[in-house]
Amino acid sequence: MREERLDAERAGGDPGPTPLESALERVGDRWTLLVIEALLDGPRRFGDLQRAVPGIAPNVLSQRLKRLEQEALVVAHPYSRRPPRFAYELTEAGGELAGALRLLADWGARHSDTVEPLRHEACGAALEARWWCPSCEAPVAEDEAAETHLL
């Protein structure tokens, strides 16, 4: 993919954003990912989100929720007309970010002395994130995953 971008740039064309650049444009800041994580368990009201995301200022939370609505990753459901209040819920596309968040959490735990890895509730073993091919119904080895590209 990088070679294709370099070739397009050398040819004077605009290669467009990479898939990672596109994702980061939509959800690439710290607060957005933490808000999404807080919504993975189901709908939450604004105050519940503030408690679930310690340190986020109300104006920042409001901005992130509006942006997530614009990106069709979150939907707001009114539960009070006066004053207007909403419960926020992930859309299907927003819920699909759960896998990416698990991968980031796994990486964070493996590269930290203070963060515990995610654990299997049944046996307590640390979980590992792995690539899976749904077509072959088989795990993909790390060296195979590194060689994949967009078709």
Segment 118-143 shows an average pLDDT of 87
Segment 125-149 shows an average pLDDT of 80
Q: Where are the domains of the chain?
A: 2-146
pLDDT of residue 137: 93
* Cα(79)–Cα(75) distance, integer angstroms: 13
Identify the CATH number of the domain defined by range 2-146.
1.10.10.10
Question: pLDDT (tens digit, 9 = 90+) per residue, 37-54?
Answer: 999 999 999 999 999 999
Give me the amino acid identity at 139.
P
Token representation of residue 30: 């710290």
Cβ-defined contacts of 87-92 (< 8 Å, 24+):
87/43, 87/44, 87/45, 88/39, 88/43, 88/44, 88/45, 88/46, 88/49, 89/39, 89/42, 89/43, 90/36, 90/39, 90/40
Question: pLDDT (tens digit, 9 = 90+) per residue, 61-84?
Answer: 999 999 999 999 999 999 998 998
User: Please, what is the average pLDDT of the chain?
Assistant: 86
